[in-house]
């Protein structure tokens, strides 16, 4: 890590040989020679901070976003910085599951992410972060997750579950989780999560932009998926 020096003049005087320390003319000469160095270093560090993702703001942050291909779209600096970070991880990704988990955790501000590999070439991710109510944010995250995946691997769904009391069946790998509630005690049971499904939906012929009908017994991969109401 580069350390900024803020006391060039004092440091230079301390390096004088003992016989010159305290001599007004010698210290005056050192002061005159070293004084221009401090503003130069301060300017370089200001430039460094302005171009550093963690400390960049405003116009400079916009330029970093332009470099990686992320538009601000009305986001504040902190929100925009998260998207730029996520895009950087995606740009250097080789499709590792760890990268997908890292990006999803970053964009959802979550602590726990569960990635599920789906046959034949898809993944789904769930997290304990806050909900993602804006459809544009959901689509942005899905597109970024798919860009980070291996070629040919799609993102089938994204989801969010309650951090304190998620709904879960036995065997699900979660540190917490309750099953169904009880008619005698409505306070029991886990809370259902929210699922954003990007897979092919079931539909009859019509105006649905991505319809698939019934599957076949010969090929279980064809056909759309029914959704809950």
Decide if 155 is inside a domain. Answer: no
Say whether both 39 and 58 belong to one domain. no
Do both 45 and 10 map to the same domain?
yes
Same domain, 34 and 58: no
Asked whether residue 177 is domain-assigned, the answer is no
Task: Say what the pLDDT of residue 197 is.
Answer: 81
Question: Do 34 and 74 belong together in one domain?
Answer: no
Clarify whether residues 73 and 44 are in a common domain.
Answer: no
Domain that holds residue 42: 1-50
Paired tokens of 172: 């699900």
Q: Is residue 65 part of a domain?
A: yes
Cα–Cα–Cα angle for 166, 169, 174, nearest 5°?
50
Report the DSSP beta bridge partners of residue 166: 191
3-class secondary structure per residue, the chain: CCCCCCCHHHHHHHCCCHHHCCCHHHHHHHHHHHCCHHHHHHHHHHHHHHCCCCCCCHHHHHHHHHHHCCCCCCCCHHHHHHHHHHHHHHHCCCCCHHHHHHHHHHHHCCCCEEEEEECCCEEEEEECCCCCCCHHHHHHHHHHHHHHCCCCCEEEEEEECCCCCEECCCCCCCCCCECCCECCECCCCCECCEEEECCCEECCCCCCCCEECCCCCCCCCCCCECCCC
Q: Based on the structure, what is the number of domains in the chain?
A: 2
pLDDT at residue 87 in the model: 92
Mean pLDDT by 10 residues, the chain (229 residues): 84 89 90 91 79 84 91 90 91 89 91 86 87 83 88 86 76 63 74 76 57 55 50
Rounded to 10°, the helix 77-91/97-108 angle is 170
Q: Specify if 27 maps to a domain.
A: yes
Looking at the structure, tell me whether residues 4 and 42 fall in a common domain: yes
The per-residue pLDDT for 229 is 35
Q: Is the pTM of this model over 0.75?
A: no
Cα 18 → chain centroid: 55
Q: Is residue 159 included in any domain, yes or no?
A: no
pLDDT at 103: 92
**Is 33 in the same domain as 8?**
yes
Residue 1 lies in a domain: yes
Which of 65, 92, 119 is where one domain is finished? 92
SS (H, E, C) 49-76: HHCCCCCCCHHHHHHHHHHHCCCCCCCC
Amino acid 209: pLDDT: 52
Q: Note whether 2 and 46 are same-domain residues.
A: yes
Residue keyed to tokens 């804006």: 134
Shared-domain flag, residues 36 and 59: no
- CA dist 173 → 102, 113, 116 (Å): 18, 11, 11
Instruction: Evaluate whether residue 14 is within a structural domain.
Output: yes
* Domain presence at residue 208: no
């Amino acid at each position: 890590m580069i350390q900024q020096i803020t006391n060039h003049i004092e440091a230079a005087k301390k390096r004088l040989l003992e016989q010159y320390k305290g001599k007004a003319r010698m210290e005056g000469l050192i002061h005159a020679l070293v004084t221009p160095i401090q503003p130069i270093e301060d300017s370089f560090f200001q430039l460094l901070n302005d171009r550093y993702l963690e400390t960049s703001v405003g116009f400079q942050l916009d330029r970093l976003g332009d470099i990686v291909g992320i538009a601000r779209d009305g986001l504040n600096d902190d929100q925009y910085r998260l998207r730029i970070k996520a895009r950087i991880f995606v740009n250097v990704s080789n499709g590792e599951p760890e990268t997908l988990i890292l990006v999803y955790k970053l964009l959802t501000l979550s602590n726990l992410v569960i990635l599920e590999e789906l046959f034949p070439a898809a993944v789904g991710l769930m997290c304990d972060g806050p909900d993602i109510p804006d459809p544009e944010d959901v689509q942005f995250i899905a597109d970024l997750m798919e860009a980070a995946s291996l070629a040919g691997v799609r993102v089938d769904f994204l989801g969010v579950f309650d951090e304190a009391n998620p709904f879960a069946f036995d065997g699900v790998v979660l540190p917490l989780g309750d099953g169904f509630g009880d008619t005698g005690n409505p306070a029991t049971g886990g809370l259902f999560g929210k699922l954003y499904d990007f897979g092919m939906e079931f539909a009859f012929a019509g105006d649905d932009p991505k319809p698939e009908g019934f599957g076949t017994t010969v090929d279980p991969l064809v056909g759309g998926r029914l959704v809950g109401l």
